[in-house]
Structure 1
Amino acid sequence: MKITLVRRVVQVLMLVLFCLPPLLAGWGLAGLYAGGDGEVATPAEGVFFGSLSASSLGPVPLFDPLAALELLAANGGAAMAALAGAGTVALVYALVRARAFCGWVCPVNLIGEGVDAARRRLGIAVPERVLDRRMKIGAAVAVVAASALVGFPVFETVSPIGAVSKGLVFGGFAGAGTLVAIVIAELFVSRRVWCRTLCPLGGLFQVLGRAGQVNVHINHDACVHCGRCEEACLADPVILAPALSGDDIIVRAGDCMACGACVDTCPARALSFSLGRLPARAQTRREERDPVSES
C-alpha cells in the first residue's frame, strides 16, 4: 500500500480522534451542546480530550511543545505542568522524526496537499521556493520572545493548526484568518511557503528532527537520478541533495517529515525507510558497495 495513502488516512483519523470525545459525551462539535435536558458528562471527563495544542490522556497531560514554551515565557512557573506534558510529546516525536507531526498529524499539511492538487488542476504555476526553510526556526524564537513581552502565548492566538483542531472541538476559530492567508499564498505565491519556511512549530520540530530514528534511506546503485523524489518532496527538495549526490545514505536534515512522498514516487525503488542514524558521507557508500572485513 502506498505510504501517502496510509498517511492521509492517519491525518483524517487524528481529526476524528479529537472529535470523538464530545460526540460520545452527547455534545456536538464546535463547542455546541447537542443533548437534551438531562444531565450528561462533560467531554473532559472521558479518557481522552483536547486539541492539538493541549489535551489529556487519562491523568497524563499532553501539550504542544511550542505552546508550552510560550506559556513558560509568558507566565514563568505557572507553565511547569505544561512543560512536563510537552516533554512527553517532544520526546516521542524527536525519537521518531520530529516533523513527522507535520507530515502525519498536522491538518494544515493535509489542507496544503489539497491546495497542491487544486493548483495542478487549475494549471497555476508558482515558484518551488521563495524563502529559506530555516526562517521558521527564527519564527519559533520570535514567537517565544513576543510571548514573554506581551504576557500571553502569541502564536496560539493566530495558529492555523488551532483554527482546525480547536475549531472542530471547542468552536474557537481564532486562527481562521491565518489559514485563509496560507491557502491564498499556497495557490498564488509559492508551494508550501507556510510549512516550509514560516511555521514556528515546524521550526521547533526542525531542530528536534536531527535526532530522528526513522529516516529515508537511499540505495545509490538503484538510483537513476530522475528527479521525481525532489518534485514530490513536501518539506524542501534541497534536503535530499546530500543523499542524491552520494555524500550520505540517509536524508539527515531535521526538516524531513518522513511523509513517504519521495519513497512512493521513486520508479527505481531506490528509496525506503530505515531505522537508526546510520553513518554519514561517501565513505559509507563505498563500504556499502564493497564491504571488506577488518583484520
Structure 2
Amino acid sequence: MSATGKVHLPPGQEARRVKGWYGANRYLIWRRSSQVFFLVLFLMGPWFGIWWVKGTLAGSETFRVLPLNDPLILGQMMAAGHWPEATALIGGLIVLVAYALIGGRVYCSWVCPINPVTDAAHWLHDKLGIQKGWQPKRSFRYWLLGTVLVVSTLTGTIAWEVVNPVTMVHRGLIFGMGWVWGMVLAVFVFDLLVARRGWCGHVCPVGAFYSLVGAKSLLRVSALRRGACDDCMDCYAVCPENQVISPALKARGDGSPLILSPNCTNCGRCIDVCSVDVFAFTHRFDHHVETPPKADSQVEPREQTAA
C-alpha cells in the first residue's frame, strides 16, 4: 500500500482505469509516432525516391533549402581540426537553438531511434523481475562526452561516429543492417541484464550533450497539482531519470513545482501514468501551484424533526 493506504497497482493501471487506455498512454503514443515520423522522413528518399530530406540525423538538407546538422558532430569535427563549411555551421546552429529552447533531451525521447530499444529492454527487465544490476554513476556519460572530444582532437577523427548506434541504424536501414543488428542487440542486452536504463541514463554521450544544451530550456514538466499526489509512485516507476522528480513533487511552501533538471527528457510518461493529473507540460517561468480543493470536514446538520 502507499502512504495514503491506497492499494499499489502496477504502474499506469489506475491511470488506465480513470483516464482510459489512450489517456494513460497519450505521450508514449505521440513519442513513438514522432520517432517513426523522423525515420520515415530520412528513408523516403532511398526507399521510395521522395527526397524531401537528404541525409541522416548527423547532417541533412530539407527541401533543398534547410540545412540541419548535429552540433555534437560539428564539435568533434572542429576538435579534430576540420573546420566545417558555413552551411554546416548554420545547420548546426539551427539545431542547437531549437533544442536549447524546447529541451535538449527531447532529442532522446522524441527523435532518437535507439530509445524504443532501451524502453523495450526496461519493460522486459521489469516483467522478468531482474535485479537492478550494476549502475555506473550518472556523471560517467559526461566524462565519456569529454573523452570523445579529446579522442577526436588526438586522432583527427569524428570519434563517436565510429560506434554511434544512431548513425549505424540510419545507415543500416538504407544500405542493409547486417552487423548493425549486433550493436542494437548489445544496447538491448546491456539495459536488460547489465544496467537498468544504463545506456541512455548513464552512458550515452549524446544524451549528456543535449542535457547541457537544454539546461535552460523553456519547455518543462511541472508538478503543479502536487497537493493531490497520493504517493502511488507510478511516476518514479516509469521515469527514465526518476531522480529529477522529487525536487519538484516534494517541494514545500514556495518551492518551484517545475522539474528543472537538464536530465529530464520531457517524455511525458509521468503525465500519462498519474491518475490524479499531478503533472503537466508548461514553460520554465510558470511557477504556480494549484491548491487541491479541501475535503468538506463539516458534518451536515441532521434534519430537524417536528416536536
Band the TM-score falls in, shorter-chain normalisation: 0.7 to 0.9
Q: Would you say the 8 A contact 1:225–1:244 is kept in 2?
A: no
Instruction: Give, as a single letter, the amino acid of the residue that structure 2 aligns with 1:261.
Output: R
Residue 79 of structure 1, CA deviation = 5.5
Which of 14, 27, 32 pairs up with 2:38? Answer: 14
- Local SS of the residue matching 2:82: helix
Larger deviation, residues 91-100 vs 162-171: 162-171
1:277 maps to which residue?
285
Q: Distance in 2 between matches of 1:124 and 1:88?
A: 42
Instruction: Give, as a single letter, the amino acid of the residue that structure 2 aligns with 1:84.
Output: I
Matched, 1:91 2:97: yes
Instruction: Describe the shift of the 1:214–1:173 C-alpha distance in structure 2 as closer, same or farther (beyond 3 A).
Output: farther
- Local SS of the residue matching 1:185: helix
Residue 108 of structure 1, CA deviation = 0.8
Q: Distance in 2 between matches of 1:178 and 1:248?
A: 41
Instruction: Describe the shift of the 1:56–1:233 C-alpha distance in structure 2 as closer, same or farther (beyond 3 A).
Output: same
Once the two structures are superposed, the pairs formed by residues 96-245 of structure 1 within 5 Å of their partners are: 96-127=102-133, 130-171=135-176, 177-218=182-223, 219-234=225-240, 236-245=241-250
Consecutive unaligned residues of structure 1, counting only runs of 5 or more, are: 26-42, 291-295
Q: 1:15-74 CA deviation, whole Å, 9 max, x = no partner?
A: 11111111232xxxxxxxxxxxxxxxxx7xx33111111111123221111111111111
Q: Distance in 1 between matches of 2:70 and 2:180?
A: 16
Q: 1:195-227 CA deviation, whole Å, 9 max, x = no partner?
A: 011111101101112122111111222122221
Residue 174 of structure 1, CA deviation = 7.8
Identical-pair percentage: 30
- Local SS of the residue matching 1:221: helix
Q: Distance in 1 between matches of 2:129 and 2:232?
A: 23
Residue 241 of structure 1, CA deviation = 1.6
Residue 171 of structure 1, CA deviation = 4.3
Indicate the structure whose relative CO is greater, using CA pairs within 8 Å and at least 6 residues apart.
2
Q: 1:75-108 CA deviation, whole Å, 9 max, x = no partner?
A: 3324554332111111111101110010011011
1:23 maps to which residue?
47
2:59 maps to which residue?
54
Consecutive unaligned residues of structure 2, counting only runs of 5 or more, are: 1-21, 293-307
Residue 170 of structure 1, CA deviation = 4.2
Q: Would you say the 8 A contact 2:258–2:284 is kept in 1?
A: no
Q: Distance in 2 between matches of 1:149 and 1:170?
A: 30
Q: 1:219-258 CA deviation, whole Å, 9 max, x = no partner?
A: 2221222211011102x11111201221431110011111
- Local SS of the residue matching 1:152: coil
Q: Distance in 2 between matches of 1:117 and 1:232?
A: 9
Instruction: Describe the shift of the 1:59–1:75 C-alpha distance in structure 2 as closer, same or farther (beyond 3 A).
Output: farther
Give the TM-score normalised by the residue count of structure 2.
0.79
Q: Distance in 2 between matches of 1:96 and 1:10?
A: 15
- Which structure carries more helix by proportion? 1
Once the two structures are superposed, the pairs formed by residues 245-284 of structure 1 within 5 Å of their partners are: 245-246=250-251, 247-279=255-287
Q: Would you say the 8 A contact 1:161–1:175 is kept in 2?
A: no
Aligned length: 263
Q: Distance in 2 between matches of 1:263 and 1:209?
A: 20
Q: Distance in 2 between matches of 1:241 and 1:82?
A: 40
- Local SS of the residue matching 2:83: helix
Instruction: Give, as a single letter, the amino acid of the residue that structure 1 aligns with 2:39.
Output: L
Q: Would you say the 8 A contact 1:163–1:173 is kept in 2?
A: no
Once the two structures are superposed, the pairs formed by residues 68-87 of structure 1 within 5 Å of their partners are: 68-78=74-84, 81-87=87-93
Q: 1:129-180 CA deviation, whole Å, 9 max, x = no partner?
A: 7122232122212111110110110100100111211211344778655433
Give the TM-score normalised by the residue count of structure 1.
0.82
